[in-house]
């Protein structure tokens, strides 16, 4: 397999899960401004959508979108217990991935789409906070160690990556103590440390 990624982008979640499973894989960095890969390829020819992640499963077989890539990778090695094989547990993972992708990801993405006015910033911060408040309350009420159950999984990796963007938009995560607690647990995983090191995200 090969993961096309950009450092710190949402492709980091797939990078983390790849490190969790028993599979050999390659990485190829994508410059999202020029849409060229580090090997000089036109990224649009690999993924016409132009953004990351893209997972090359076999030569010419490309899968895109985190809501597809993350469950696919999580089920690759069933011994890892990264995703329930069926039933409500699996549905809950997909529910969280859908929410994180369509809501929280989009809320953060506003800050990376161009210069915002102060009024636009205020509204954008309020939307991020509204979504994080919901997640934090859910975690406070949950009986589980992670978002879906007591096992780390793709939704936890995705939430970690998205909330990491708070560091880049001058956003304070400190009110969300349950999210921070989950982030700290996720950050300790070897898979996360290796992915962040390989993407140049550790000082």
The chain-wide mean pLDDT, for the chain, equals 97
Kindly tell me if the per-residue pLDDT of 178 is higher than 80: yes
CATH number (domain holding residue 116): 1.20.1050.10
User: E strand or H helix at 66, and its extent?
Assistant: helix 66-74
Kindly tell me if the per-residue pLDDT of 164 is higher than 80: yes
Residues 33 and 99 in one domain: no
pLDDT of residue 94: 98
Residues 45 and 93 in one domain: no
List of residues 6+ apart from 33 with CB closer than 8 A:
none
Domain assignment of residue 203, yes or no:
no
Residues 69 and 91 in one domain: no
Residues 37 and 126 in one domain: no
Domain assignment of residue 15, yes or no:
yes
The model carries a pTM of 0.97
What burial letters (b/e) apply to 94-124, b meaning 16+ CB within 10 Å? bebbebbbebbbebbebbeeeeeeeeeeeeb
Residues 72 and 90 in one domain: no
- pLDDT category of residue 203 using cuts at 50, 70 and 90: low
What total number of domains does the chain contain? 2
Percent of the chain with pLDDT over 90: 94
pLDDT tens digit sequence for 54-82: 999 999 899 999 999 999 999 998 888 99
Residues 137 and 65 in one domain: no
Kindly tell me if the per-residue pLDDT of 89 is higher than 80: yes
Nearest to 148 by CA among 140, 139, 160: 139
Residue with tokens 């090695």: 77
Domain assignment of residue 111, yes or no:
yes
Kindly tell me if the per-residue pLDDT of 108 is higher than 80: yes
Domain assignment of residue 70, yes or no:
yes
Residues 67 and 138 in one domain: no
> Would you tell me the crossing angle of helices 154-164 and 66-74 to the nearest 10 degrees?
140
Residues 91 and 183 in one domain: yes
CATH number (domain holding residue 6): 3.40.30.10
- pLDDT category of residue 114 using cuts at 50, 70 and 90: confident
Residues 104 and 51 in one domain: no
pLDDT of residue 22: 84
Residues 30 and 117 in one domain: no
* Residue 72: domain span: 2-78+192-198
pLDDT tens digit sequence for 142-162: 999 999 999 999 999 999 999
Residues 72 and 122 in one domain: no
Nearest to 67 by CA among 37, 100, 34: 100
Q: Mean pLDDT over residues 3-8, rounded?
A: 98
Residues 32 and 114 in one domain: no
pLDDT tens digit sequence for 125-141: 999 999 999 999 999 99
């Amino acid at each position: 397999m090969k993961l096309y990624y950009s450092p710190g982008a949402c492709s980091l979640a797939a990078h983390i899960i790849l490190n969790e499973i028993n599979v050999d894989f390659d990485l190829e960095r994508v410059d999202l401004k020029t849409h060229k890969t580090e090997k000089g390829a036109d990224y649009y020819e690999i993924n016409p959508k132009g953004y990351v992640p893209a997972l090359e499963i076999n030569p010419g077989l490309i899968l895109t979108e985190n809501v597809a890539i993350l469950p696919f990778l999580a089920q690759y090695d069933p011994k890892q217990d990264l995703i329930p094989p069926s039933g409500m547990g699996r549905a809950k993972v997909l529910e969280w991935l859908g929410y994180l992708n369509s809501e929280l990801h989009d809320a953060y993405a506003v800050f990376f789409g161009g210069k915002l006015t102060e009024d636009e910033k205020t509204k954008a911060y309020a939307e991020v906070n509204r979504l994080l408040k919901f997640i934090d309350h859910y975690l406070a009420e949950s009986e589980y160690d992670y978002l879906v159950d007591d096992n780390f999984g793709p939704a936890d990796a995705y939430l970690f990556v998205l909330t990491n963007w708070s560091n880049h938009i001058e956003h304070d995560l400190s009110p969300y103590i349950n999210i921070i607690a989950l982030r700290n647990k996720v950050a300790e995983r070897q898979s996360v440390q290796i992915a962040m090191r390989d993407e140049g995200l550790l000082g």
